[in-house]
Structure 1
Amino acid sequence: LLNNLNFIFDTSSTGGIFIDTATGFSNLFINSGIVSMNVFPNPFANQLNINFELSQDVDVAVELISINGSQTKELLNKTNCKKGSYNYTVAIPQIFAEGNYLLKIKAGNNVIVKKLILKK
């Protein structure tokens, strides 16, 4: 179903699911696209800052998904991002209600999911 993809699922509390064999970003992630990633603030209100560093040229897509999957919004879709650091500030549409959300970041063959909280 999801062949050739690496996943990290990160929650904003002490627990979470990390599907890999090491803590933090493993060499598998670093060698296949994303070196580091930071999303803030959390909780957020009307915008998010998304910072990441790439180890090679890859396509990057960022999507905000309500926890029940009823609302989705593509926040970023960049093809052939060059190796280096990127900093984006993205506006969150007003139609999104307060609550828990998932931010899905796909860079090359890597998928990172972060749990976020929207507070208005």
Structure 2
Amino acid sequence: MKTTAVKIALKSRLAYLIVMLVFGCFSVFAQKIDTNKIWLKPKVKVASRIPVIRGSVQPYRPSYNVLSSSNAGGESNREKSAKTLTILKIYPNPVVEQLNINLRLEKETNVSIKITDLLGNEIVTLSNEKMPAGEHTKTYNMPSKLNAGIYFLRIVAGGEPLIKRISVL
């Protein structure tokens, strides 16, 4: 009779342990589910495409007033807004030995043509001369000290800079 009572006690304890393991009461044997991380809908992450600038950066304000109409005729506004320099063509690009620049000047002015690297450092001055108004085609031989790569051609006419990218082979 004692053996049957012991068997029943062992069976009941075994059943108790199984129930505890199944329902996760023993954290040593069973892993509990973290209910805080279960979501039925995924959270939408709001990302702004506009970068946030932190610091004291002054906004750009043009030095001229677009809406002002101080001149009745408007002739001097057109003269001020007319560009002194217009580049028609830079060829061949990529450059091997010679560079041809076709440009138009609206008035006689001093023209400076320089080659700079990507950091803005001046590499070569191709021309610095006074040129008359009209259309001009200039041909320059590329210096041998120029390595293959990407450079900028900086043309300044009458204080008005114009920058174009060139590739040198």
Gaps of 5+ in 2: 1-77
Structure 1 contact 30–55 (Cα < 8 Å) conserved: no
Correspondence 1:43 to 2:102:
no
**Structure 1 residue matching 2:107: 3-state secondary structure:** coil
* 1:51-70 correspondence runs (5 A): 51-69=102-120
Structure with more relative contact order (C-alpha pairs < 8 Å, separation 6 or more): 1
Residue number in structure 2 paired with 1:3:
none
**Counting helix residues as a fraction of each chain, which structure ranks higher?**
2
TM-score (norm 2): 0.49
Q: 2 CA distance for matches of 1:96 and 1:108? A: 27
* 1:72-91 correspondence runs (5 A): 72-79=123-130, 81-91=131-141
* 1:1-120 correspondence runs (5 A): 31-69=82-120, 72-79=123-130, 81-119=131-169
Q: 2 CA distance for matches of 1:36 and 1:116? A: 14
Q: 2 CA distance for matches of 1:47 and 1:107? A: 22
Gaps of 5+ in 1: 1-26
Larger Rg: 2
Q: 1 CA distance for matches of 2:162 and 2:141? A: 20
How many aligned residue pairs are there? 92
The alpha-carbon deviation at position 54 of structure 1 amounts to 0.7
User: Over residues 48-83 of structure 1, what are the superposed CA-to-partner deviations in whole Å (9 max), with x where a residue is unaligned?
Assistant: 00110111111101001122345510001112x111
Indicate the percent of aligned positions where both proteins have the same amino acid. Answer: 25
Given the superposition, is the C-alpha separation of residues 53 and 71 from structure 1 closer, same or farther in structure 2, using an over 3 Å criterion? closer
Q: 1 CA distance for matches of 2:102 and 2:80? A: 16
Given the superposition, is the C-alpha separation of residues 87 and 55 from structure 1 closer, same or farther in structure 2, using an over 3 Å criterion? same
Q: 2 CA distance for matches of 1:111 and 1:36? A: 11
**Counting strand residues as a fraction of each chain, which structure ranks higher?**
1
**Structure 2 residue matching 1:116: 3-state secondary structure:** strand
Given the superposition, is the C-alpha separation of residues 35 and 93 from structure 1 closer, same or farther in structure 2, using an over 3 Å criterion? closer
TM-score (norm 1): 0.68
